[in-house]
Amino acid sequence: MQFGVFTVSDITPDPHTGRAPDDTERVRSILTIAQHAEEVGLDVFATGEHHNPPFVASSPTTMLGYLAGRTKDIVLSTATTLITTNDPVRLAEEYAMLQVISDGRMDLMMGRGNTGPVYPWFGQDVRQGIPLAIENYALLRRLWTEEVVDWEGKFRTPLQGFTSTPRPLDGIPPFVWHGSIRSPEIAEQAAYYGDGFFHNNIFWPMSHTKQMVQFYRQRFEYYGHGRADQAIVGLGGQVFMRKNSQDAVDEFRPYFDNAPVYGHGPSLEDFSAQTPLTVGSPQQVIDRYAAMRHDVGHYQRQLFLIDHAGLPLKTVLEQLDILGGEVVPVLRKEMESDRPADVPSGPPTHAERLAKARAAGAVHEQTVAAADHWTGRTAEDDAAAADAVAGRQGAAFGL
Amino acid sequence: MTERHIVALSAGLGRPSSTRLLADRLAEATATELADRGQRPEVRVVELRDHAHDIVNAMLTGVPSPELAEVIEAVTGADALIAVTPLFTTTYSGLFKSFVDVLDKDSLVGLPVLLGATGGTARHSLALEYSIRPLFTYLRADVATTSVFAATDDWAAGATADEPSPLPARIRRAGAELATTVAARGPRGPQDPFAGAPSFADLLGG
């Protein structure tokens, strides 16, 4: 099973000092955290994508591309990539580039984004969130699997004879997760494609998470991708640990009480009881998270949020030490102890997917050998070239 | 006999509370009328003051506590709702509105609702019509024509023999209206959040 961390990249003042890092410091902290996550033996680092302060992670593939060069084993991912407000053409290009650079050591998680104003800033309408997620993702898949794409939809300018480059590594598109908290439509989408489903349950009771995951699992089986218990599931989590449980509570409480994400609402005790937030000893974290599989079934990826709410970098790195040193090795063993042999222990790796595609004779072209039809030509030439690519005559293109 | 789940919601803050008293009377009248129509009424009274902190927390975090979630489920899955609020500065109380605000906007669609309000004097009785009814109309609930306002004076039993208090008769009439609506329908039952989930073919086609 995969264990990792995900960041929402918030800039929050430390309640003890009132000091907040500036954007540069926070970005560099995140890079340090990601690299330390690998050092302590975690499997995944994922970054959010936000386009409004107080969040700094606006450009995930730049960040992950750098980390791909600085790390060796850790899987680089997103939580989430905005499938609604990003142009699917740019997503196809950027994440294929990341896949090539990281040699397949990446995947990504689609999400709609919950910040209303971000939609109009990118020319979209929040009320169209679900239709955007459906249409954009359908196009993204085509751009990765088909060399030359003619496409027309509701939300983006049409494409004629478009080829997204670089082509996916070995002709195998990146593995995709779909993150959703409440929308059955997105669980349905993940199930339809046989993609992974991630329930970011950090604010939610297990009763709700269980319902959503069960729905996805049933639909995964319905669409013929395998049995329900073989579907690819990921969960979120939040922990803060110290050797002595009361020390953890005392140290974390000021952050909990003041952070905008949950401050001045429920008490730390209520929130801990109602959500996966676990503040205490490493053993308490192990016990709580080892039990998750009894509710949602054997799952493949567990991500923890540990660098939020203004926690200082030093503290976050200590949390990673505890997570990697004491918690994950035990949790990993526990999680695998009763996993049926035919239930995957992680999402499919690039190598596994390549082998499967080769066996099925379904490997897509990795390079596009075609000549450059476009550069430096006049509009009239473009029209002729478009006709040539599309195998048609007389189409008015490029005018 | 069909079991019918009636939830009476009181946003009264005091204890004892005249708002709670009105909610109880309306629930009792509805239950009696339902029994007369061959139904088996099950009444549950919810005092929002018991959930006030959870309601604020749900507004801050976007997620109801398990206790509040259970109340929301009872309200949205009921066969009928009796909603009673005190009038504060011309309209429903903030607590009442906050509870309505944490409900899913589609969760009351078609739900038979009887409205009640309490206030110091009858001068504010029309708040039921210009303020509270539109709220439930917006939520597309099925609001009974008769709503019941009780001012402090109305609780002065019977007034005089020549001029009896109109409140008991009005409560009976409102209960009968709600019971007639409920009896004519099949049980509503709890809402399945996945029942309306479209298949992917529909999503792609849409």
Ordered by where they begin, the domains of chain B are 2-205 (3.40.50.360)
The pLDDT of residue A396 = 43
pLDDT of amino acid B158: 61
Give pLDDT, residue A368.
61
Q: Which residues in chain B touch residue A266, judged by CB atoms under 8 angstroms apart?
A: 57, 60-61, 65
Helices (H) and strands (E) in chain A, counts: 15, 13
Which amino acid is it at A354?
Answer: L
> In chain A, which residue's Cα lies nearest the Cα of B56?
A265
Domain A2-368, what fold?
TIM Barrel (3.20.20)
Mutation to test the B interface, candidates A134, A206, A272, most B Cβ within 10 Å: A134
Tell me the whole-structure pTM to 2 decimals. Answer: 0.88
Q: Tell me if A205 and B63 make a contact (CB, 8 A cut-off).
A: yes
Does the beta-carbon distance from B66 to A138 stay under 8 Å? no
Q: Which value does ipTM take for this structure?
A: 0.79
Distance CA A377, CA A244 (A): 70
- DSSP secondary structure string, A321-383? HHIIIIIHHHHHHHHHHT--TTS-SSSPPHHHHHHHHHHTT-PPPSS------STT--HHHHH
Q: CB of A71 within 8 A of CB of A150?
A: no
Cβ-based contacts of A130 with chain B (< 8 Å): 203
Four-residue CA torsion sign, B71, B75, B81, B86 = positive
**Cβ contact, residue pair B60, A264, below 8 Å:** yes
Report the percentage of chain B scoring pLDDT > 90: 78
Please list, in sequence order, all residues whose beta carbon lies within 8 angstroms of the beta carbon of residue A255, skipping any fewer than 6 positions away: A14, A15, A309, A310, A311
Instruction: State the nearest Cα–Cα gap between A296 and chain B, in angstroms.
Output: 17
Of all residues in chain B, the one with the smallest CA distance to A154 is B206
- Which residues in chain A are contacts of B104 at CB distance < 8 A? none
Q: What is the pLDDT of residue B193?
A: 73
Contact B112/B80 with Cβ under 8 angstroms?
Answer: yes
**Which residues lie across from A7 on neighbouring strands?**
A47
Rounded to whole angstroms, the Cα distance separating A119 from A116 reads 6
For A66, the token pair is 């750098």
B74 Cβ under 8 Å from any chain A Cβ: no
DSSP per-residue letters across A234-297: EE--BEEE-SSHHHHHHHHHHHHHH-TTTTTSS-HHHHHHHSS-EEE-HHHHHHHHHTHHHHH-
Smallest CA-to-CA distance from A356 within A187, A222, A175 is with A175
CA distance A226 to A230: 6
Residue A352, Cβ neighbours under 10 Å: how many? 14
Stretch 110-169 of chain B: residues touching chain A, C-beta under 8 Å: none
A191 inside 8 A of chain B by CB: yes
B160: left (phi over 0), alpha (psi -120 to 50) or beta: beta
B194·A266 Cβ contact <8 A: no
Contact A80, A55 (CB under 8 A): no
Is the pLDDT score of B163 beyond 70?
no
B69 at interface of A, judged by CB pairs closer than 8 A: yes
pLDDT lower than 70: segments of chain A: 364-371, 373-399
CA–chain centroid gap for B81, Å, is 4
The nearest CA of chain A is from the CA of B200 a distance in Å of 6
For residue B186, what pLDDT band results from cuts at 50, 70 and 90?
confident
> What is the predicted pLDDT for the residue at A262?
76
Cβ contact (<8 Å) for A215 and B65?
Answer: no
Residue A176's Cβ-side half-sphere holds a number of Cα atoms within 13 Å equal to 26
Q: What per-residue confidence (pLDDT) applies to A398?
A: 40
Is the Cβ–Cβ distance between A29 and A56 less than 8 Å? no
The answer to whether the CB atoms of B57 and A265 lie below 8 A apart is yes
Q: Which two tokens stand for residue A150?
A: 């003619």
Residues 6+ apart with CB under 8 A from A209: A199, A201, A235, A295, A296
Q: Which residues of A touch B194 (CB under 8 A)?
A: 184, 211, 215
DSSP A171-229: G-PPEEEEE-SS-HHHHHHHHHHT-EEEE--TTS-HHHHHHHHHHHHHHHHHTTSS-GG
CB contact (8 A) between residue B199 and residue A262: no
Residues B167, B170, B174, B180, CA torsion sign = positive
Q: Domain ranges in chain A? A: 2-368
Nearest to B146 by CA among B169, B177, B119, B168: B177
